[in-house]
Chains A and B, each alone.
Chain A
Amino acid sequence: MDEELITDWFDAYADDVYRFLIYYTSTSDVEDLVQEVFIKAIDRYDSFKGDASPKTWLISIARNLAIDEARKNKRKDWRKLIKSYESKVDISPEDKHLISERKLELHQAISKLKQDYRDVVILRGIEELSVMETATILKWSDSKVRVTFHRALKALKMHVEEVHYES
């Protein structure tokens, strides 16, 4: 892989990978992981077949790295993450607090989901990737993506309620 191509890819997809890692690791401190994703892409470029888009390939690398990272480090910096959602639009401090709390609950609920559900919720629900893109990243069929996403939302609903009552 030459320097020009990796630069192009980085310019085009670094932010997508960055955001995906934020959702997946539930922390905003993911810059090192982003760099690692692109280093892995350089090292494994020979295995990139070109039938998937570079974005889905990079996100699948990011996902694997994030899973490894999650095993190593279970600490989640929720407060820091929520700060990243703070809107610049003028809203009352009360509303701001309410929105932040709701998002925090949602994040906590997502983190409680099992691996498959969390994958599909982040990719389809938050990242808004297409069924086909999600299927490529997770190496699933399109129908499995649809069915699992539906079940994941049901499970997420339950977890959100649990988190809400706990808090």
Chain B
Amino acid sequence: MSHNEDELKKELKELKTKRSLETEKKETMKMALQKHAKKKRAKSKAKQTFIWFSSAAAILICGILVFQMINNDQITLPADNNQEKEEIGITGDDNKESDEVDILDDGQDNNEAEDQGSEDTANETEDLSPLDFKVDKIGEGTHTILIEGMESEEPVAHYRMEPYGIEYSVDKFLDKYAIEDTTVRYHNDYDVEASIVMYVEENASIEQVFSNLQDDYTGESDGPYTLPEDENPYQGIGQDFSDTPEGFYVYQIEENVLVIQYEYDAEAGDGMPPRLDALQKSIK
């Protein structure tokens, strides 16, 4: 038998059968396929739903975690800062303090942090906690003081200490301030260092506070002396120590005692006393 290519092609075409599936068999197969397609679709829908819910749950969990992280940061950051400052206050490391001061330079950050803190603790206790204490810078101006016998007009910043409502002005020679627990500390970044620390002893008597403060100071002193009542309406006692120089003033303001402690380099000796006088006069 011999085949050329065309003949072979023709024969191959003839192999094409016209057979088809039986109608009955076709219907049975069709039904089985429809059932399978339906099942597959339901399975796929369930799978998609599962994936959708899993993704949604994962996103939700991430969202909650991020929210908590942000929330925690907002609550804990000021408290941490206060802790740091407290430690600095104990060790008396002035360089570190300068760094902290930069953060709270304009007083606004401080207020925000304290506001946040007070919201969180307001319902917990009526006692004064570090987060209730705050100092607001309420304005700026000038005052005239005598420096080396010459009248000099110096810039001044006005503050309000809360929750006591005590207002006072600090010369801008001490243009930096930082909250350290329930204490505010004013200082500067100049070569000639000077600082003023202010705080309130609650429900205390001026004698008791004065006595306690005296224990912290040694050396030759001027005082104790009663602070002139024409400076401000409050009863006050002061004492100056000349070695460092340093000292303190205490004022009875209703049931509380306002404490002002100062310290400065001897080189600042001409400028600090008039500035301290101005501070005392500004208390209201």
Contact = CB atoms under 8 A, between A and B. Distances in A.
User: Taking chain A's interface residues, is the majority helix, strand, or loop, or is none over half, making it mixed?
Assistant: helix
B12 interface: yes
B34 A15 contact: no
Interface residues of A, number: 40
A164 B1 CA distance: 7
How many B residues touch the partner, as a band?
20 to 34
A42 B33 contact: yes
Contacts of B19: 18-19, 22, 28, 84
Contacts of A6: 33-34, 37
Contacts of B29: 10, 14, 31, 34-35, 38
A43 B40 contact: yes
A160 B12 contact: no
Interface string B2-23: 1101001101111111011100
A102 B1 CA distance: 10
Interface stretch (A64-72, A119-127, A138-146): A119-127
A39 interface: yes
B41 interface: yes
A106 B30 contact: no
Given A103-B14, A106-B11, A161-B1, A31 B21 contact: yes
Nearest to A149: B9
A156 interface: yes
Interface in A16-37: 18-19, 22-23, 28, 31, 34-35
Interface of A: 1-3, 6-7, 10-11, 14-15, 18-19, 22-23, 28, 31, 34-35, 38-39, 42-43, 84-85, 102-103, 106-107, 121, 125-128, 150, 153-154, 156-157, 160-161, 164
Pick the 10 closest A-B CB pairs, nearest first.
A125-B12, A15-B20, A3-B34, A164-B1, A3-B37, A157-B3, A35-B29, A6-B37, A126-B15, A42-B37
